[in-house]
Structure 1
Amino acid sequence: MATEQHSQEGVVKHRHRHEGPQKHIVVFIFSIVLTLIAFAAVAAGGVNPAFAVVLLLVMAVLQVFVQMGFWMHLKDRGHLIPIIFMIGGFFVAGTSIIMALYWVWWD
């Protein structure tokens, strides 16, 4: 969060508050919990395989958002261009995968 600091000339300087380690620790614990949930779903053995696959995909997507948002700092200002390029890359990769599957299973 930005705070305002007035100088003697009347110019407003914006200072960004330093992000402390508390948030990083919470996000790290959240990442570990997501990993443990995914591991437990597979290690349990009695879980329906379709449910396990869906659960693993959901955990993977959440991990991607956590990794990119907090560890790659994409939640901060000034990261619009990398975000746009990553969305473009996801679009190209997703389209390629869908077209490859369509091509393989074409009758």
Structure 2
Amino acid sequence: MSTHDLNEDGAVKHRHRQEGPQKHVIAFIFSIILTLIAFAAVAAGGVNTAFTVILLLVMAILQVLIQLGYWMHMKDKGHMIPILFMAGGFFVAGLAIIAALYWMWW
């Protein structure tokens, strides 16, 4: 450690690593690939409908995770409170959907 890595009071400086565009480009390409797979599954026509719906749901979940992680920076430190609030919102929304389906088919 050199002397320029220390603050005025002698404590070690913590440098913020800047994220390069490489990870964003990879995330963008992965998002495009997921979108193309979803379009191809729907455009194929001869694919089982249940399989297509499940595939689209999986692609949507992966897209959401990529969007939150790389574009909304939820993978970085200090974002636990927004993540907890979003998880709580997904939980409440899931309960509402389950309750609505149960109510309709009961």
Given the two structures, how large is their TM-score scaled by the length of structure 2?
A: 0.92
SS state at 1:66 partner: helix
In the other structure, the counterpart of 1:6 is 5
Gaps of 5+ in 2: none
Q: 1:97 is matched with which residue?
A: 97
5+ residue gaps, structure 1, are none
RMSD: 1.2
Matched, 1:66 2:66: yes
Does the alignment pair 1:20 with 2:20?
yes
Match of 2:46 in 1: 46
Confirm or deny that 1:82 pairs with 2:82.
yes
The number of residues matched between the two structures is 102
Higher share of residues assigned strand: 1
Question: Secondary structure of 1:16's match?
Answer: coil
Higher-RCO chain (CA-CA 8 Å, sequence separation at least 6): 2
Percent same amino acid at aligned positions?
A: 73
How far residue 11 of structure 1 moved from its aligned partner, in angstroms, is 1.6
Higher helix proportion (structure 1 or 2): 2
| Runs of 4+ in structure 1 over 4 Å off | none
Q: For the residues of structure 2 that align with 1:30 and 1:16, how far apart are their CA atoms?
A: 26
Aligned-partner SS, 2:13: strand
Q: CA deviation at 1:55?
A: 0.3
Deviation string, structure 1 residues 38-72 (Cα, Å, up to 9, x no partner): 00000011111111011000000000100111111
